[in-house]
Amino acid sequence: MPKASPIRSTFNAGELSPLMDGRVDIAKYSNGCRRLENFIPSVQGPAVRRGGTRFVAEVKNSANRTWLVRFEFNVTQAYAIEFGHQYIRFFTNHGQLLSGGAPYEIASPYSAADLVDEDGTFNLDIVQSGDVLYIAHPKYPLQRLARYGNTNWTITPVEFADGPFLDQNINRSITVYASGTTGTVTLTASSGIFSAAMVGSYVYLEPADLSTIKPWTAGQEFTTNPYGVYRRSDGKTYICRTNGTPTSGKVWRTGGDKPVHTYGTEADGGGQGVMGTTSERDGLDWEFVDAGYGYVKITGYTNSTTVTAVVSGRWPLPQGVVGSGKSTFRWALGAFSGVEGYPSKVTFFRERLCLAKGQRLYFSVAGDFENMATKNDSGEVVADRAIIVTISSDETNRIEWLVPTQALIIGTAGGELACQENATTEAFAPGNVKIDQQTSDGSKSVAPARVGYSTLFVQRSGRKLKEMAYNFQQNGYVTNDMTVLSEHVTKGGLVQLAWHKEPYVVLWCVRGDGVLLGFTFNKEQEVLGWHPHPMTNGIVESVCCIPSPDKTRDDLWMVVRRTINGVTKRYVEYLEREYREGDDQKDCYYVDSGATYDGAPADHISGLDWLEGQTVQILADGAAHPDRVVTSGAVTLQREASKVHVGLPYDSVLQTNRIEAGAGDGTAQGKTKRVNKVVIRFLNTLGALAGPDEANLDEIEFRSGSDPMDEAPPLFTGDKLVEWPDGYNFDGYVMVQQRQPLPMTVVAIMPQLHTFDR
């Protein structure tokens, strides 16, 4: 009958899967838990009870699912943005942004149905550049949400310059002509190529026949006034603006400077000169007319062959496409439209805005995010021009996410790819792009989290969180399964991720059934630990993380769906920080969807309308108070208090795996054992229950005889010896639970037990 006193000194492997119940052979077994709810396992090892959530506001319309988006201009200017049914609202500095006493909001094009993908994930993809968010949705033009002031935000469709366009038409029998070169024009096609869904999209046009305009050549002589003569140069059209009447013996001659300008009038030569007995003018003035191509934005639909449009871009349409006699087959439709669809993903890569639609990537001009020109003004394809590239693979899966790292990582339902330079000694540019398959895990349409050099993404099924990172030995990107030890926690699938880096490193995940999950991840210390955070009467639907107003931590903001008095409510709440050494005990905040009264001593706390009819927990001046039911938006206390926290209760539970401390003939597993005593080491804790399971828990006493009876006992740091309320069994579980609105940190668990050999 061996006697043993093992120690569980770390819990940062998190809650382990039941499939791991027999894996006493790996270190993670003793570092993990059978249950770990509403605790955050720290990188150092102890399990810290999470803080409560603070109520901020109800969403505009609780009948519709609402989503939160992070906006961080810098650590002092950060917002949680509420996207709801055709509106956007804003939260900052732990409150809702108001204007004139009412929530500040702007209209948005997205309905509640638009915001949710078919698999329950958020259907907007967003990237930030300074004060601008670019927002992609497969049914809407790319939107630009810009901040000009705290209560001055606008959202408008992006008007791309010079495209992008689909491949140019090659069917010579299908032609288009315009009614004019500038302003509002009519486009007429020989076949039905237009539809009402194309309103707002672009059409590219260039002349089919250039024979009517002769090319500009150096030294060309004109014996009559050349004023009004057209010439083509560098792909552009120019008109001569040199006027006069030549006298006998004089000629007009083009100079040697080829016209390439795109605005106004410039000379192609130096002026007067004398050759022999003939006085000549060497050089003519040429005014820019058009670039040899142009494009229009469709503004109205008449029928399948006729639309109205506005000439767009910097230049007028070429004269070679105006009039029925100049119909051209050299046209192209815009790549983004109600017919072709719109980009569904957006990011930045190599100083370019990158858009994904289907299997195609569109990169903007370098440093000019809203310019999609594939050629420069001279018609040349140079390094900084826009890039269009199609993914070539065995499967035709749409792009689910984009993450810029050393390469642009692309997630599709069939696998993950990397887009980068083909020749690393040259710039990322047209003609220097390659896309290589990296892994074949397959991805779900959940925006990944970038953590250091790692990318954390959700696999296609939604059940696995994968880490993707570059591996020098394999000279490529490889993945690791972050859920292999805790596959059970993601049941229902992951639908949203938010990275929280201060003070603890946690990836917060929204599960499909509304349970909030945390994943403590520190690659340097090899810490991987999952921890569920179920809420009383609460379903978490969306999360984001932004810096706190005092810049000391990140705040987790969330939309929580609750049933209040039989009515569905959706509340915006944020996670309060846990107790820290040096804090006043009165400031301990461990209730959900709660609020704080801080003022003169009072026994009637009102203004709790959002919790009407709910049983709430109360911490009054640092002491746990009996529960109350909110009636008419208020609760009455037993005694007056000056600082009162009121909110919904939640339990924090830590239960170890089966104890493995060895036996006389080997393992302790599968053998009768008896736990006699357990020593639990706490840090800054008050209020706790301990036992083998929830049905057999005893309260741990923290108040001593020397503590004043009219004050809360102080927080405790040290060891508590617990006489164990259990007999003989095969398991040897140890459970610690906190049910009061008070802090708890479990540093170590040290059971004393006997194991009986067979």
- Mean local confidence (pLDDT), 188-209: 93
Q: For position 64, what pLDDT does the model report? A: 96
* Side chain identity at residue 190, one-letter code: S
Q: For position 188, what pLDDT does the model report? A: 97
Q: With 50 as the cut, is the pLDDT of residue 594 above it?
A: yes
Backbone φ, ψ for residue 30 (5° rounding): -75, -15
> CA-to-CA distance for 74 and 77, rounded, in angstroms?
5
Which residues make Cβ contacts (< 8 Å) with residue 664, sequence separation at least 6? 1, 2, 755, 757
pLDDT range class, residue 731, cuts 50, 70, 90: confident
**Domain identity same for 614 and 600:** yes
Q: For position 245, what pLDDT does the model report? A: 64
Q: For position 224, what pLDDT does the model report? A: 80
- Mean local confidence (pLDDT), 190-199: 95
Q: Is 119 exposed, middle or buried (0-12, 13-18, 19+ CB in 10 A)?
A: middle
The CATH number assigned to the domain holding 196 equals: 2.40.10
> CA-to-CA distance for 516 and 509, rounded, in angstroms?
6
Structural domain count of the chain: 4
Cβ distance 347 to 354 under 8 Å?
yes
Q: For position 6, what pLDDT does the model report? A: 84
The CATH number assigned to the domain holding 740 equals: 2.60.120
- Per-residue tokens: 705: 């005889």
Q: For position 513, what pLDDT does the model report? A: 94
pLDDT in tens, 502-521: 888 999 999 999 999 999 99
**Range in 154-168, 280-294, 541-555, 579-593 the model is least confident about:** 280-294
**Domain identity same for 667 and 631:** no
**Domain identity same for 747 and 605:** no
**Range in 394-403, 510-519, 621-630 the model is least confident about:** 394-403
- Mean local confidence (pLDDT), 325-345: 94
- Between these two residues, 693 and 381, which has the higher pLDDT value? 693
Q: For position 276, what pLDDT does the model report? A: 34
Q: For position 658, what pLDDT does the model report? A: 87
**Domain identity same for 235 and 280:** yes
**Domain identity same for 196 and 322:** yes
* Side chain identity at residue 109, one-letter code: P
pLDDT range class, residue 172, cuts 50, 70, 90: very high
**Domain identity same for 257 and 225:** yes
pLDDT in tens, 337-378: 999 999 999 999 999 999 999 999 999 999 999 999 888 776
Counting residues of the chain whose pLDDT is more than 90, the rounded percentage is 73
pLDDT in tens, 653-695: 999 998 877 666 777 777 777 788 999 999 999 999 999 989 8
> CA-to-CA distance for 47 and 239, rounded, in angstroms?
79
pLDDT in tens, 701-720: 998 766 676 778 899 999 99
CA 288, chain centre distance (Å): 45
**Domain identity same for 282 and 297:** no
Let me know if residue 523 belongs to a domain: no
Place of tokens 């495209």: 163
Q: For position 382, what pLDDT does the model report? A: 81
> CA-to-CA distance for 14 and 505, rounded, in angstroms?
13
Let me know if residue 747 belongs to a domain: yes
Let me know if residue 136 belongs to a domain: no
pLDDT range class, residue 204, cuts 50, 70, 90: very high
Q: For position 275, what pLDDT does the model report? A: 37
Structural domain containing residue 670: 3-47+652-755
pLDDT in tens, 511-550: 999 999 999 999 999 999 999 999 999 999 999 999 999 9
Q: For position 113, what pLDDT does the model report? A: 96
pLDDT in tens, 107-117: 999 999 999 99
The DSSP 8-state label assigned to residue 131 in this structure reads T
**Average pLDDT across the chain, whole number:** 91
Q: Round the CA-based radius of gyration of the chain to a whole number and report it.
A: 35
